[in-house]
Amino acid sequence: MGKFLGLALTMVVQIALMAICFAAVLEIQGGEIGAGILTALLLIFVETILVISMALFFTSFSRPFLSGLFCLGIFAAGRNADLVSQLAQRKSLEWLAPALDAVGAVLPNLHLFYPSGKMVDGAWATVRDQFVSTGYVLDATAYGLAYTAAFLVFSMLLLGRRDFV
């Protein structure tokens, strides 16, 4: 848990520095930081701590190289979780639908943390024109925190049984 909190705090600092640099660039160009940018930063942070907890989970039972590969694979699949569910609905892949549905149900849907450029609550959401609702942000945050907690609990259970000889 200490390692997770240290990594999460490091990410808070890095995201804050990124936001400061972004604000400076916007100021130079005559723009301003709005609610959409702050919402995007929150969702980026939630996705980041989810990925950190996922990496710690894989580290709890495998070597660093394999942990990196597992985490990268789950990250790539999670970013495309919507496509996995769409594949399950194709007629040509009917025989694979149960497996794809199971994968889609277990994988964290990281696409939720980037709502820009897709339909949200029946409307087209972009960072520039229309921002997502507070309900969407709360749901996505709760979803991310639930997956984070699950990965951390499983990590602690696995590390509790591991021999450190």
Backbone angles phi, psi at 63, to 5 degrees: -75, 160
How many structural domains does the chain have? 1
Q: What is the mean pLDDT of the chain?
A: 84
Please give the structure tokens belonging to residue 105.
Answer: 């149900």
Q: Is residue 4 part of a domain?
A: no
Q: What angle do CA 32, 26, 39 make, to 5 degrees?
A: 55
Give the residue from 119, 135, 147 showing the smallest Cα distance to 47: 147
Residue 31, classed as helix, strand or coil, is: coil
Q: Is residue 13 part of a domain?
A: no
Which helix H or strand E contains 127, and what residues bound it? none
Residue corresponding to tokens 């040509």: 92
Provide the residue range defining the domain that includes 81.
Answer: 34-161
Share of the chain above pLDDT 70, in %: 87
Q: Is residue 3 part of a domain?
A: no
Instruction: Give this prediction's pTM.
Output: 0.81
Amino acid at site 58? F
Q: Is residue 2 part of a domain?
A: no
Which pLDDT belongs to residue 49? 96
On the question of pLDDT at 16 being above 90, the answer is: yes
Q: Is residue 8 part of a domain?
A: no
Q: pLDDT band at residue 118, thresholds of 50, 70 and 90?
A: low
Q: Is residue 59 part of a domain?
A: yes
Q: Is residue 21 part of a domain?
A: no
Are 101 and 88 a contacting pair, CB within 8 Å?
yes
